[in-house]
Amino acid sequence: MRLVPVSLAAALACAALLFGASSRADDLDAISAAKTLRIGTEGTYAPFTFHDASGALVGFDVEIGRKLAEKLGVAPQFLEGKWDGLIAGLDGGRYDVVINQVGITKERQAKFDFSEPYIRARAVLITRADRADITSFADLKGRKAAQSLTSNFARLAEQSGADLVGTDGFDQSVQLVLTGRADATINDNLSFLDFRKQKPNAPVRIAAEQADADASGIIMRKNNPALKAAIDKALGEIRADGSYAAIAQKYFGADVSK
């Protein structure tokens, strides 16, 4: 066996420590050096991230991302991907953060860090405006609920005793309610606010609302305390200067942070 001289061994050990320290450098350093914040987003999930008639990427999360990058003093770079691959892409280093209404869950927190919550959603029970017989989730028992069958809202409807009518998503669910082919749908209040903003005269209403809200945050790789602190600070600044309220009003017509 060949032995390494003590002086060389010490030098190698020192180099290893330096390399380890640099490899563990906070992602904020790389973002600042590149002058770019790489943001993972779907681009197909209105009103959060989608393309308008001109083909431009727009949406609530897109505007939040632009404001955060501005506060960090860097340029935003939006990288689009399918929902199933966004978090994997973050883990693989393709993105610095993902801004795509990512719910804060214990399972995700075990592997990733989140900013402070920047948007909250509640499950709401939606009926035709002229229905006076459904005023609570319990009133769904024995009635038809239009739901995306793989969603948490479908499970909630089933737990309330509803018979499910499968749909492709919120818009189709509401249409079935409007046409009387379903008695109600359970969905999130953010989707309802967006629908109401687009179609203010549609004869639908919120009949009941869950008390607890589900929070979403900006997701990033673990062990980046400086990046998390900078993003939390930026979120605080856009709330304080009115930017957040203006973006929320534009897309939802309401404050969606509480």
For the chain, the structural domain boundaries read 27-119+214-252, 123-209
The Cβ of residue 49 has, within 10 Å, a number of other Cβ atoms equal to: 26
Is residue 64 pLDDT above 90, yes or no? yes
Place of tokens 């499950």: 123
The Cβ of residue 231 has, within 10 Å, a number of other Cβ atoms equal to: 27
Task: Write down the pTM of the prediction.
Answer: 0.80
Q: What is the CATH number of domain 27-119+214-252?
A: 3.40.190.10
Is beta strand 185-188 parallel, antiparallel or unpaired with respect to 57-58?
unpaired
- How is the chain split among helix, strand and coil, in percent rounded to 5? 40, 25, 35
Asked if residues 183 and 145 have their Cβ atoms less than 8 Å apart, the reply is yes
Domain 123-209 in the same topology as domain 27-119+214-252: yes
DSSP 150: T
Is residue 21 pLDDT above 60, yes or no? no
105, 32, 118, 63: which is closest to 246 by C-alpha? 63
Place of tokens 């109600």: 184
Classify 220 as helix, strand or coil: strand
**Percent of the chain predicted with pLDDT > 70:** 91
Is residue 14 pLDDT above 80, yes or no? no
**Angle of helix 225-240 versus helix 60-72 axis, rounded to 10:** 110
Q: What is the dihedral of CA 56, 60, 62, 68, to 10 degrees?
A: 150
Is residue 165 pLDDT above 50, yes or no? yes
Is beta strand 119-121 parallel, antiparallel or unpaired with respect to 214-221?
antiparallel
Is residue 114 pLDDT above 80, yes or no? yes
Q: What is the CATH number of domain 123-209?
A: 3.40.190.10
Is residue 221 pLDDT above 60, yes or no? yes
pLDDT (average), residues 151-172: 93
Is residue 140 pLDDT above 80, yes or no? yes
Classify 190 as helix, strand or coil: helix
Q: Which pLDDT score, from 0 to 100, does residue 235 have?
A: 98
Residue 243 tokens, joined:
């930017």
Q: What is the rounded CA–CA span in Å between residue 256 and residue 234? A: 17
Asked if residues 64 and 99 have their Cβ atoms less than 8 Å apart, the reply is yes
For residue 137, the one-letter residue type is F
Residue 123 binned pLDDT confidence (cut-offs 50, 70, 90):
very high
164, 125, 131: which is closest to 145 by C-alpha? 164
Q: Which pLDDT score, from 0 to 100, does residue 137 have?
A: 97
